[in-house]
Structure 1
Amino acid sequence: MDLGLSGRTALITGGDSGIGLATAGLLLGEGARVIISDLDQAELDRAAASLTAGADRDAVDQRLYAIAADITDPESIARLRKEVASVGRLDILINSAGVTGATGAFHEIDDDGWEDTLAVDLMGPVRVTRAFLDDLRFSGHGRLIFLTSENAIQPYPEEIPYDAAKAALLAISKGLSKTYGSDNLLINCVSPAFIRTPMTDAMMDKRADELGVSTMEAVESFLAEKRPNIELKRRGEPEEVASVIAFLCSERASFITGSDYRVDAGSVASIN
């Protein structure tokens, strides 16, 4: 299926691994120019090399850019905007960068834990979106995607700062869709659950150590005890989320805005 993305320019924060990296691969395959961004340039360079492996390297290299930036730092975001402008006016922004952040019972998490989590998971997407908003509004094909989570509407008590940040992004996305719909800027959320990413790898490695079991056994017990509504009884793959993101970035999704797409194998128990 032709998604109508050839020649479009997309920026993906958190693009050096997981869902961001998988999305970059799909958009490149559709002919888009893709800028992946994250904190570490060396990691970005390795990610870029993985995207060109086995491909028509020259053709992909001309459309792939890796630019390090810190989404918690306004000056770093300003530099990122200048570098992206040298590639071309932005059509698509995918806010994929995020961290689990501070965890524990509510009374155990101090202000620093809250502020560190919200700096990345809430204010990072807010600042990046604000920096690129005019590009998206006047693109003619503006697409803005926020990566939220099942936690946004099914909060987990040990991850309340993360829950709150992701719920806020749902509200922001809906509000922005009403503000900028007249500019033909389409704004949506994608809410994954328990995807095989470095973030959940770290969670499962920690669980395995705590329980004295293998990582596979940690995943199985986590599914049984913590995510019983994941009906497929497995972690999702980054590509399974990326395919939904790519669709929402495409011409095929030209009448969709203000929506939240769950990619969670049924993990969220409610219907709304």
Structure 2
Amino acid sequence: MDLGISGRTALVSGADSGIGWHTARLLLEEGATVVVTDLDQSSLDDAAAKLDSAEGKLFAFAADVTSVDSIASLRSSVEGAVGEIDILVQSAGITGAQGLFHEIDDEGWTKTIEVDLMGPVRLISAFLPALRTGGWGRIVLLASEDAVQPYDDEIPYCSAKAGVLALMKGLSRSYASEGLLVNAVSPAFIRTPMTDAMMEKRSKELGTSVDEAIESFLSDERPYMELGRRGEAEEVASVIAFLCSDRASFVNGSNYRVDSGSVATI
């Protein structure tokens, strides 16, 4: 399907692996110029090297979403390399502090919110002027099933992702008249380095194999995931790419769940 984004320029954060990397791949395949960013330049360069791109279509700049100065430097690098962007995909995030509420200290809360909520805020603040100037723009934020179906052992993450949905909805009301459409995607239990680490930790705690840990997690913690498996990063990236496109020209302020039915409510 032609998504109508050939010649557009996209910035994808959290792009050294997982959902961000696959999103960058799909946008490149559709003819967009893509800038990928993540925390570590070395791992980002390795990830970029695995992307198939025409010369002058792919750029990689490291940035720390917890630092206003780092984001400002990223904006300067992006402007110098490609000019203004048309598409922003924010997928950088961490699991953050885990445990029951009384087990999580102030530092755990602060770090989680700094990355998972304030990270998107900082990135959007830096690039919003560019996204507002062309009469056509897209912002896609990565939220989570946890935003609307919180779990008691990761409340900071759930709270941050609920904030991301509120941020998305507010932005969608502010700038749609200028041609800038803002939406979110909420995945559930996708095969990424983040969930790999979660399952490795679970397997050690239970004294099982990782495959057994995944199976028990699906059975015990995610019973409404009717397909009975982890999702694949490219399955989420396909929805993100659609929301970045001309095909989504009447979609604004929406949260797309890519969760195998995990959220139990309508």
Q: After superposition, what is the alpha-carbon deviation per residue over 1:35-92, rounded to whole angstroms, capped at 9, x for unaligned?
A: 110010110011011113xxxx5x2x42011100000000000000011112121100
Q: After superposition, what is the alpha-carbon deviation per residue over 1:142-190, rounded to whole angstroms, capped at 9, x for unaligned?
A: 1001100000000001000000000011111111111111111000000
Between the two proteins, the alignment pairs up a number of residues equal to 265
Give the SS at the match of 2:127: helix
- CA RMSD, Structure 1 to Structure 2 (Å): 0.7
Whether the aligned pair in 2 keeps the contact of 1:90 and 1:139 (CA below 8 Å) is no
Point out 4+ residue stretches in structure 1 off by more than 6 angstroms: none
Whether the aligned pair in 2 keeps the contact of 1:144 and 1:185 (CA below 8 Å) is yes
Partner amino acid for 1:230? M
Q: Report what 2:260 is aligned to.
A: 265
Alignment of 1:1-272 (within 5 A): 1-52=1-52, 59=54, 61-86=55-80, 87-271=82-266
Partner amino acid for 1:145? V
Unmatched 5+ residue regions in structure 1?
Answer: none
The structural deviation recorded for 1:141 is 2.1
- How much identity, in percent, do the aligned residues show? 65
Partner amino acid for 1:31? G
Give the SS at the match of 1:227: coil
Unmatched 5+ residue regions in structure 2?
Answer: none
TM, length-normalised to structure 2: 0.98
Whether the aligned pair in 1 keeps the contact of 2:136 and 2:178 (CA below 8 Å) is no
- Mapped to 2, the partners of 1:62 and 1:176 lie a distance apart of 31
Give the SS at the match of 2:113: helix
TM, length-normalised to structure 1: 0.96
- Mapped to 2, the partners of 1:238 and 1:19 lie a distance apart of 5
